[in-house]
């Protein structure tokens, strides 16, 4: 759930002269000079994190290319023997490295970064970055069906964690520094800073403040600048001219979204079940699982589909420009799905972003080709469907709906297709969520015995609000201009322990029954209530406030006013500690 957590406790003066207002929306320690200094230092450090992460990703890209040339050859026509043996032999080397040297290298890297944030106080060993760099470069370069984006994310997070430890940051900043590095690594790998920022906030951090957003953006932008300095500013793909020709074409994109959603469910379920099955094999088989996966991928490539090897960016580019028949594109989508299953469940380090984009691009072009045969006048440009298909699989399989939309727009640089992207991605996301309730990242963490927060579950969680717990004020409100004698009679008549006092025009305060009786025993029953006691003004709550807001004050104020946002002098209700606890207790009771 993406939400702001910057609201803090209202500072009230002891004389009660401060005007009543809602809690000031800034950090409680925002006035401490040391906090300001750390905030500025953290922003500067984020820039250096981006620079180092960008350099690491550039070296990672060079390492992948070098491994591919050395293992598969530099020519376009790769020999059949290399296709068969290179992934298998590399798998043996990868297994030995993972088991004996880099035990934390397996996986995509996303969940490991989340674990650093929520479990390990931001700590990721620098050795993990080295291990992920070496093993993922060897795997992707040798042809295993994995991508460089997720490893780049973890490499950036590991470098950021190391810098944070050296800088001796506070605990909260140390926890957040790994996701900052993750955004930098992903942005450099994707050449898409906006998508990287959204993904890290949407799926890793799950919330945002101005400070978090500023740091993540600075790191992502600086890493992309470094990457473009060395590798150029050319996008990953040569995007053809894309546009929505006619509103009726949205029907075709809707079909693509439905097919993509179903395929996402198959993909996620296959990874979840096969990974669990492989984990149950005897321990000694871990030495051979990556090699077996590599051999199966080599067989697929040798039989006529070498496009499924590695990240597959070149094949995606070719699909966008109509260089394959739609039947062959459908075959490639299925074979890439199988190859990715083999690679990922075997424990081979590498990411799922690139395979997801590959499958989506092939599926999009294949669906467009099939629809063009059935309804020739409906589909205008099949290349556009490849681009939209990438977002469809991303939304359905990785369950990052916001990132999936902006990723397509950022990669294409064309906002004229935003409508088909939103329609198709939304359909895919809803189908995937309906048929596969647990997102793939949550499935993987639970299989590993971790209980990380599910960002999708948090987004869908109903937040209890003040209006759910408040009750009518009825006879619990006193006027500050009433005489003490009348107030005492009212309190005794209603047997109330605490009551609200309306101090016009300043606001509201709370007074207890014992205090009123003490004031009355001092005489002067005709004096106005406001003139005989001094009390801090109570903080105001609004009906739409999260209920947890009331918990911040309920121990100091036995009764709190809930007022209208349109008129703070208008009382909507009151809320007490019993009201808050009863509401939370009702939420915790199982449904009938």
More confident residue, 576 or 482: 576
Question: 223 and 77 in one domain?
Answer: yes
Question: 550 and 480 in one domain?
Answer: yes
Q: Does some domain include residue 356?
A: yes
CA distance 215 to 236: 25
pTM assigned to the model: 0.82
Of the candidates 529, 572, 554, the one whose C-alpha atom is nearest the C-alpha of residue 16 is 529
31: confidence class by pLDDT, cuts 50, 70, 90: very low
Question: 216 and 145 in one domain?
Answer: yes
Going from the C-alpha of 247 to that of each of 161, 227, 250, 408, 423, the distances in angstroms are 48, 39, 6, 19, 12
Domain C-terminal end among 202, 231, 260: 231
DSSP per-residue string spanning 105-133: --S-SHHHHHHHHHTSTT---HHHHHHHH
Q: Which pLDDT does position 77 carry in this prediction?
A: 62
Question: 440 and 486 in one domain?
Answer: no
CA distance 450 to 132: 20
CA distance 301 to 335: 10
Task: Express each pLDDT in 308-350 by its tens digit.
Answer: 999 989 899 888 888 889 899 999 999 999 999 999 999 999 9
- CATH number of the domain at 556, please: 3.10.580.10
- CATH number of the domain at 265, please: 1.10.3080.10
Question: 391 and 354 in one domain?
Answer: yes
The 3-state secondary structure of 269-287 reads HHHHHHHHHHHCCCHHHHH
DSSP-H helix ranges across 191-305 = 193-199, 210-231, 250-279, 289-302
Q: Which pLDDT does position 139 carry in this prediction?
A: 96
Consecutive H or E run containing 501? strand 498-503
Yes or no: say if 143 and 302 are a contact pair by the CB < 8 Å rule: no
- Number of independent structural domains in the chain: 3
Question: 412 and 557 in one domain?
Answer: no
Spatial CB neighbours of 78, under 8 Å, sequence gap ≥ 6: 72, 306
Question: 178 and 58 in one domain?
Answer: yes
265: confidence class by pLDDT, cuts 50, 70, 90: very high
Yes or no: say if 436 and 265 are a contact pair by the CB < 8 Å rule: yes
CA torsion 39-41-45-46 (nearest 10°) is: 30
Q: Which pLDDT does position 166 carry in this prediction?
A: 87
Question: 334 and 415 in one domain?
Answer: yes
Question: 345 and 443 in one domain?
Answer: yes
Q: What angle do CA 401, 404, 408 make, to 5 degrees?
A: 150
127: confidence class by pLDDT, cuts 50, 70, 90: very high
Question: 371 and 435 in one domain?
Answer: yes
pLDDT at 169 over 50: yes
CA distance 302 to 299: 5
373 has which bridge partners? none
Residue 48: other Cβ atoms inside 10 A: 17
Which residue segment(s) compose the domain that 134 sits in? 33-231
Stretch 53-60: mean pLDDT, rounded?
96
Q: Does some domain include residue 532?
A: yes
């Amino acid at each position: 759930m993406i939400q702001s957590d910057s609201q803090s406790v209202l500072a009230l003066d002891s004389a009660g002269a401060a005007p009543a207002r809602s809690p000031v929306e800034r950090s409680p320690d925002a006035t401490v000079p040391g906090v300001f200094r750390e905030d500025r230092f953290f922003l500067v450090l984020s820039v250096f994190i981006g620079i180092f992460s960008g350099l690491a990703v550039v070296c990672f890209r060079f390492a992948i290319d070098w491994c591919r040339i050395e293992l598969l050859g530099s020519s376009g026509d790769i020999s059949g023997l290399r296709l068969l043996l290179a992934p298998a032999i590399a798998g043996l080397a990868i297994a030995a490295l993972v088991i004996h040297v880099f035990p934390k290298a397996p996986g995509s890297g996303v969940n490991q970064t989340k674990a650093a944030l929520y479990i390990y106080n931001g700590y990721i060993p620098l050795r993990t970055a080295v291990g992920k760099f070496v093993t993922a470069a060897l795997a992707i370069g040798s042809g295993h069906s994995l991508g460089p984006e997720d490893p780049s994310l973890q490499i950036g997070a590991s470098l950021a964690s190391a810098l944070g430890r050296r800088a001796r940051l506070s605990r909260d900043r140390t926890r957040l520094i790994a996701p900052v590095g993750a955004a930098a690594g992903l942005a450099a790998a994707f050449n898409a800073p906006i998508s990287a920022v959204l993904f890290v906030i949407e799926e890793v951090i799950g919330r945002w403040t101005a400070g978090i957003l500023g740091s993540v953006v600075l790191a992502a932008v600086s890493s992309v600048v470094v990457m473009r300095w060395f590798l150029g500013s050319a996008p990953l793909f040569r995007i053809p001219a894309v546009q929505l020709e006619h509103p009726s074409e949205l029907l075709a994109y809707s079909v693509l979204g439905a097919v993509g959603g179903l395929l996402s469910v198959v993909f996620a379920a296959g990874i979840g079940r096969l990974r669990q099955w492989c984990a149950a094999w005897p321990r000694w088989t871990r030495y051979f699982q990556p090699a077996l996966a590599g051999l199966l991928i080599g067989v697929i490539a040798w039989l006529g589909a070498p496009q499924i090897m590695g990240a597959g960016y070149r094949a995606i580019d070719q699909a966008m420009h109509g260089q394959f028949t739609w039947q062959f594109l459908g075959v490639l989508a299925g074979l890439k799905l199988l190859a990715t299953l083999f690679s990922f469940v075997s424990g081979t380090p590498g990411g799922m972003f690139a395979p997801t984009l590959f499958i989506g691009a092939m599926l999009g072009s294949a669906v467009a080709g099939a629809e063009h045969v059935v309804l020739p006048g409906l589909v205008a440009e099949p290349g556009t469907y490849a681009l939209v298909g990438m977002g469809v699989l991303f939304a359905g399989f990785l369950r990052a709906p916001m990132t999936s939309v902006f990723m397509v727009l950022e990669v294409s640089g064309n906002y004229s297709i935003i409508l088909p992207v939103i329609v198709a991605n939304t359909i895919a996301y809803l189908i995937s969520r309906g048929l596969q309730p647990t997102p793939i990242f949550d499935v993987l963490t639970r299989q590993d015995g971790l209980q990380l927060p599910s960002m999708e579950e948090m987004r869908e969680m109903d937040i209890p609000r003040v209006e759910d717990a408040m009750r009518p004020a009825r006879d619990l409100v006193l006027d500050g201009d009433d005489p003490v004698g009348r107030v005492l009679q009212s309190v005794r008549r209603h047997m109330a322990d605490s009551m609200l006092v309306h101090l016009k025009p300043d606001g509201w305060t709370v007074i207890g029954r014992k205090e009123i009786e003490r004031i009355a025993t001092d005489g002067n029953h005709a004096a106005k209530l406001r003139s005989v006691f001094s009390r801090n003004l109570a903080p105001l709550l609004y009906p739409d406030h999260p209920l947890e807001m009331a918990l911040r004050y309920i121990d100091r104020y036995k009764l709190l006013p809930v007022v209208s946002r349109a008129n703070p002098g208008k009382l909507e209700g009151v809320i007490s500690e019993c009201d808050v606890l009863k509401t939370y207790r009702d939420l915790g009771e199982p449904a009938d």
